C-alpha cells in the first residue's frame, strides 16, 4: 500500500502538497468537511495529485517524514500520531 493513499488531507497539505514546488503557487482547496484552505492547484478534491504521472522532480523526490519515521508504509507514524497527537510532528 502507498501511504500517500491513506494520508489525511491535513497532513498532506502541511507536509507535501501545500503549494506547487516549482512556483510556490497555491489555490483554494475545499476539504471534505467543508473547510477552505490553500493547497497546490494540482491537488484534486479526492486528495490525489492531478498530474501524478508528470509531477515535478521536487514532488517525486520529496523527503517525507512519514516514511522516514515508520516501517516504510506509514503504519508506525499513524500509530505514534494516535498516541501523541498532532504535536508529534
Does 13 interact with ligand SF4 (rule: CB under 6 A)? no
Rounded to whole angstroms, how far apart are CA atoms 8 and 13? Answer: 9
Q: Pick the binder of ligand SF4 from 26, 31, 64, 73 (CB under 6 A).
A: 64
Site for ligand SF4 in 44-63 (CB under 6 A): 49, 51, 55, 59, 62
Q: Pick the binder of ligand SF4 from 42, 86, 87, 89 (CB under 6 A).
A: 42
Length of the chain: 89
Closest CA to 77 of 86, 14, 52: 86
Residues with Cβ within 8 Å of 76's Cβ and at least 6 positions away in sequence, in order, are 69, 70
**Residues forming the site for ligand SF4 (CB under 6 A):** 3-4, 7, 11-12, 15-17, 20-21, 40, 42-43, 49, 51, 55, 59, 62, 64, 66, 74
Amino acid at each position: 500500500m502507498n501511504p500517500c493513499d491513506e494520508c489525511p488531507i491535513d497532513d498532506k497539505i502541511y507536509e507535501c502538497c501545500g503549494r506547487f514546488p516549482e512556483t510556490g503557487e497555491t489555490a483554494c482547496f475545499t476539504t471534505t468537511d467543508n473547510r477552505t484552505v490553500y493547497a497546490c492547484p494540482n491537488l484534486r478534491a479526492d486528495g490525489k495529485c492531478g498530474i501524478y504521472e508528470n509531477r515535478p522532480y521536487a514532488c517525486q523526490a520529496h523527503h517525507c517524514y512519514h516514511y522516514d519515521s515508520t516501517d516504510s508504509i506509514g503504519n508506525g507514524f499513524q500509530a505514534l500520531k494516535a498516541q501523541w497527537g498532532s504535536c508529534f510532528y
